[in-house]
Amino acid sequence: MYERGKQYLLCNVAGFSHWDGLEVFSQLEPGVELTLVPEPDNPYDPNAVAFYLAGVKIGYVPRDSNSTISLLLNFGHADVFRARIAAVYKDKHPEQQVLVSINVTDAREE
């Protein structure tokens, strides 16, 4: 049976307070799609995967959850995952303000 996708990971945006999320904060709403960009040359984590919105880096997939996503993205499978904002909590600590759902897309025919 065809499925639109299945949730792979639900996570906060790691490092949100260290990147440019405030530049696009007004655009961060549930359902907004984010771009996943692997950073294999990242000096702190070779499995780093950044979240971008409209060309602005807002943070990362948490380090403890990024290895499979990084592997598939680095091997050219960018269409496997779809990241969308699940919730925004304006009153929480910046590292817990943006919750993202990363789904595995279903490539089977309908």
Every domain of the chain and the residues it spans: 10-105
Q: Can you tell me the mean pLDDT for 24-34?
A: 95
Average pLDDT taken over every residue of the chain: 92
CB 54 within 8 A of CB 46: no
In this prediction, residue 83 has a pLDDT band, given cuts at 50, 70 and 90, of: very high
10-105 maps to CATH 3.40.30.10: no
In this prediction, residue 34 has a pLDDT band, given cuts at 50, 70 and 90, of: very high
Those residues whose C-beta lies under 8 Å from the C-beta of residue 81, and which sit 6 or more positions away, are 8, 36, 69, 72, 73, 102, 103, 104, 105
Q: Can you tell me the mean pLDDT for 40-58?
A: 96
What's the chain's Rg over C-alpha atoms? 14
Taking the whole predicted model, whether its pTM rises above 0.85 is answered as yes
